[in-house]
Amino acid sequence: MNFDLDQDQLDAAAGAKQFFTGQASPAQARAALEDGPLAPGRRALADIGFLGITVAEDAGGAGGSLLDLAVVAEQAGAQLAGPSLVTAARAAVLLADQPELAAALADGSRAFCVVDGSGPALDAVGADTFLALVDGDLVVGGGEVTTGQPMDATRGLGVVTLTDPRVLVAGAAALWARARDVALVALAAEDLGTAGKAVEVGVAYAKERHAFGRAIGSYQAVKHGLVDAWVGVEQLRSLVWWAAWAADAAPDELPLAAASAKAFAAETLERAAETCIQVHGGIGFTWEHDAHLYWRRAKVDRLLLGDAAEHHDVVAGLVLAGALS
């Protein structure tokens, strides 16, 4: 039994933490709501190699595992970075046999967006290359993007109408399903980082803020809420690691693990973000404070790629079909 990160992954996490802390922040997520640029942005993510973590080495990537990507995605989530590593992870699976496009993903020369039907697509804003499943085939093409006023501008959400699609892979349903499961894991990993950060910010404030003569974190009503959020984060970490490990080492377990991680991520991040606001009281409800930026991420991410109810149903279906026996 060795269910822990290895030293390379711990080092990668530390490096990623330093990078994202320097290159992205809740302040920049707030600025993006008022038309500021995405931080760190596609160029910086490509330059440090994060868009190609799971792209094959001969296509210019690092040839890493999904777990390698997940530890970096957690740090991206902690700083509300954009564009998402969800798109990078998902496109890398879809482009596994397309070395030129995969190279363009890794080096950032193309801006990819993966489109599910007619729903809003992640990282659609500013994208130039769109991947979709049409009549069972994987297609690539341009697209016209329609956006609303964003809840969370770092997600780049938009509804896409494909233009000039051409078939890349015929009969790609299984490939598409695997890529979608990989996307669920990467999204859960980003949410893990955001949830952990929201708890950390809430705990720090509960130690510092005094009311009725003592730190509010000493009151059980406040303390227990933070503890429940923290316990959720640690349970989520276990599900994310399991799912990321399964993607490469036990593909049969991936559908159950990915759906479990996504369902749990949705509710864990929501609770962490809401607790963070509540612990901060009035200040947590202001535009200037970071709490609402974690909350925005929570309220958007929980709906992306299927909500908790959808994934609980997927888990039930797999469990009923004997996935645990």
One of 91, 172, 185, 226 touching other proteins (CB under 8 A): 226
When the beta carbons of 87 and 268 are compared against other proteins, the nearer one is 268
- For the purposes of burial, counting CB atoms within 10 Å of the CB of 165, is it exposed (0-12), middle (13-18) or buried (19 or more)? middle
Q: Does 223 bind other proteins (CB under 8 A)?
A: yes
Q: Does 307 bind other proteins (CB under 8 A)?
A: no
Report in angstroms the alpha-carbon separations of 175 from 18, 94, 136, 234, 253. 34, 7, 10, 31, 16
CA angle 236, 66, 155 (to 5 degrees): 70
- Is 90:207 a contact under the CB 8 Å cutoff? no
When the beta carbons of 117 and 322 are compared against other proteins, the nearer one is 322
Q: Does 231 bind other proteins (CB under 8 A)?
A: yes
x-or-dash pattern for other proteins, window 236-265, by CB under 8 A? xxxx-xx--x---x------xx--x--xx-
Closest CA to 33 of 147, 163, 127, 186: 147
d(CA 287, CA 74): 25
d(CA 5, CA 26): 27
When the beta carbons of 244 and 304 are compared against other proteins, the nearer one is 244
Q: Does 209 bind other proteins (CB under 8 A)?
A: no
d(CA 34, CA 246): 40
Q: Does 42 bind other proteins (CB under 8 A)?
A: no
Q: Does 281 bind other proteins (CB under 8 A)?
A: no
d(CA 112, CA 290): 29
Q: Does 311 bind other proteins (CB under 8 A)?
A: yes
Q: Does 4 bind other proteins (CB under 8 A)?
A: yes
How near is the Cβ of 238 to other proteins at its closest, in Å? 4
Q: Does 2 bind other proteins (CB under 8 A)?
A: yes
How near is the Cβ of 226 to other proteins at its closest, in Å? 6
d(CA 97, CA 105): 13
Binding site for other proteins (CB under 8 A): 1-6, 67, 203, 206-207, 214-215, 217-220, 223-224, 226-228, 230-231, 234-239, 241-242, 245, 249, 256-257, 260, 263-264, 309, 311-317, 319-320, 322, 324-325
